[in-house]
Amino acid sequence: MSHQLTDFDLIIFGATGDLSMRKLLPSLYQAHAAGLLHPDGRILAVSRSRLDTAEFLAKVESDSKQHIKQHFSETAWQSFIGRITYLPVDVTRPEHFVALADAVKTRSASSVVIYLSTAPRFFAEACRHLAAVGLNADNVRIVLEKPLGSDLASSRQINDDVARYFKEGQVYRIDHYLGKEGLQNLLPLRFGNVFLERIWSREYIRSVQITIAEQLGVEERGEFYDTAGALRDMVQNHIMQMLCFVAMEPPQSEDADAVRDEKLKVVAALKPMTAGDVDKYVVRAQYVAHGGQKGYLQERHVPADSRTETYVAIRAEVDTPRWQGVPFYLRTGKRLAQRRAEIVVNFKERQQTWFGPQHANRLIIRLQPDETVSMRWFVKQAGNGLHTVPAEMVLDLGQAMSGRRADAYEILLREVIDGRLNLFNRRDELEKAWEWLMPVLDNWAVSKVAPYTYAAGSWGPQAARDLLARDGNLWLEEQAA
Ligand code: BG6
């Protein structure tokens, strides 16, 4: 599908930082090389460092270029960096914003995107100075990177600060999981295939598992991670988005608010947890050294007595007519056995029939490492009457989705430039997610019980298996092949 390209000025705050070098600039290069950026579009890279454009580009050459994994051509690269200008901007200095506004006003791009790739503590001041120089006009869109707060109160504070200068329709809250095609595909998969739509409910579904498992540990991010933990880093955002796409009702239209209204309803319908529920339905754990891999407490910048969770599993319920009583098992962790992001829908068992032993269909929607949808069917076992054996039918989404594939950040950046909010989170939804998780954070803050432990490279603590066993269920890796 071709559409008109939008002329833009993209201002990246924190341009010398990790996200900008590793993700934003390489993603923009990809869009550029594919001819998907307006030819006049400019990138204004800003940060506190006192550099000129040539010095910044030298840094891009050494720190960013290496992250371009495909479609690299020196010619495309040279024309790409021609779009970049660097400006030193100290967020605490109003006069720097005047210079920034002057740079933007040298022409009038139809879309001005301001990407705040900085710590949230700078957001309020940055927004105030941007507004003071008119960089909050209607054609300005502001992009906020997570973490947007560390609890309900701090998230509200950030949203209030931004809302003082920008209308909600100008605010693009990034969750890079929403840029993953495998996740977006859930809606066409569910609502575009008549047989799935009919059985997508408590009547046929016994349980749902949502997993984001990582093999990596906290790497060099120990200092940040220790203040966050798996619940804030992954559950409040990425896991919640996966849950919304699995559980939401069909939106009335493709319109951003129609989609976001339905997501909000899912989060609002999550059964609230009491302090007692937290002990019963939430498992937190930390990895310990195993098989030559360090434990969390031995990672750099992690205090030796840290209680920060690197793993969390939750038994949740979505209290809507479609889902009442169906457990949603959510889990994420670092240093697990495999890297996998997936949704497992376990259908109810067929009653005993003359086909043989009881069995249940299962649908697995995998976003990582491969993008697949697999359905477990039952077929006749050769030479054994009508007795059945399970058989897996695998749809390779990578092959099936025709068209050029792009990385999540590239997709999201192009959406912002075009001014489409569908793949960005609205404030009410994010705050509802914090509201639901607050009892967990409050309980952990005072709990005398230490996190469980799990061996690095394993599938997590026994307590997470027990969580499912109480309902007579098993995590995917323990289910019969
Ligand atoms: C980030 C988290 O938001 O998502 C990281 O801060 C995590 O801790 C990452 O590793 C996972 O993203 P992906 O796309 O690799 O699954």
Tokens encoding 413: 């950046």
Please determine, for residue 1, whether its predicted confidence score (pLDDT) is greater than 50: no
233 CA → ligand 1 middle, Å: 8
Structure confidence by residue, pLDDT tens digits, 134-174: 999 999 999 999 889 999 999 999 999 999 999 999 999 99
Q: 105 C-alpha vs ligand 1 centroid, how far in Å? A: 36
Do 56 and 205 sit in the same domain of this protein? no
**pLDDT tens digits, one per residue of 447-479:** 999 999 999 999 999 999 999 999 999 999 999
Distance CA 481, CA 478 (A): 8
Residues 220 and 305 in one domain: yes
Mean pLDDT to the nearest integer, 235-256: 96
> Closest Cα to atom 13, ligand 1: which residue?
177
- 159 located within any domain: no
- The reply to whether 279 falls in a domain is yes
- Nearest ligand 1 atom to alpha carbon 341: 16
Name the residue of 238, 335, 336, 409 whose CB sits within 8 Å of the most ligand 1 atoms, as the mutation to test its pocket: 238
Between 145 and 359, residue with greater pLDDT: 145
Could you tell me the CATH number of the domain that includes residue 118?
A: 3.40.50.720
pLDDT at 117: 94
Residue whose CA is at the smallest distance from ligand 1 atom 8: 233
In terms of domains, do 85 and 185 share one? no
Tell me the C-alpha distance between 263 and 259, whole Å: 6
CA of 312 to the centre of ligand 1 (A): 15
- pLDDT-derived band at 351 (thresholds 50, 70, 90) equals confident
User: Is 155 a domain residue?
Assistant: no
CA distance 390 to 369: 24
Query: Which ligand 1 atom is at minimum distance from the Cα of 225?
Result: 8
Look over the chain and give the mean of its residue pLDDT values, rounded to a whole number: 95
Whether residue 157 is contained in a domain is answered as: no
Determine how many CB atoms are found less than 10 A away from the CB of residue 350. Answer: 14
Give whichever of 266-270, 377-381, 387-391 has the largest mean pLDDT: 266-270
Residue 347 maps to which CATH number? 3.30.360.10
Q: Which residue puts its alpha carbon closest to atom 9 of ligand 1?
A: 234
Ligand 1 proximity of 341 Cβ (cutoff 6 Å): yes
Number of domains in the chain: 2
Output 246 or 398, whichever has higher pLDDT.
246
Q: Which structural domain, as residue segments, surrounds residue 279?
A: 178-478
Q: How many CB atoms lie within 10 A of CB 385?
A: 10
Distance 2 CA to ligand 1 centre (A): 31
Q: Are residues 282 and 223 in the same domain?
A: yes
In the annotation, is 238 catalytic?
Answer: yes
* 81 and 191 together in one domain: no
DSSP H/E element including 187? helix 186-191
Contacts of 318 (CB under 8 A, 6+ apart): 243, 247, 266, 269, 270, 271, 326, 328
CA 18 to centroid of ligand 1, rounded, Å: 14
In a shared domain, residues 132 and 261: no
pLDDT of 124 over the 60 cut: yes
Judge whether residue 331 has pLDDT over 70.
yes
Residues 430 and 358 in one domain: yes
Domain boundary residue, one of 98, 126, 145: 145
78 and 197 share one domain: no
The CA distances from residue 183 to 179, 363, 434, in Å, are 8, 15, 22
Residue nearest atom 6 in ligand 1 by C-alpha distance: 233
Considering the domain architecture, whether residues 313 and 450 belong to the same structural domain is answered as: yes
Predicted confidence band of residue 249 (pLDDT cuts 50, 70, 90) = very high
Query: Which of the four pLDDT bands, split at 50, 70 and 90, describes residue 412?
Result: very high
Query: Are residues 354 and 260 part of one domain?
Result: yes
Secondary structure class of 473 (helix, strand, coil): coil
- Residues 263 and 384 placed together within one structural domain of the fold: yes
| From 32, 129, 176, 238, active-site residue | 238
> Does residue 381 lie in a domain region?
yes
Q: Is the CB of 214 under 6 A from ligand 1?
A: yes
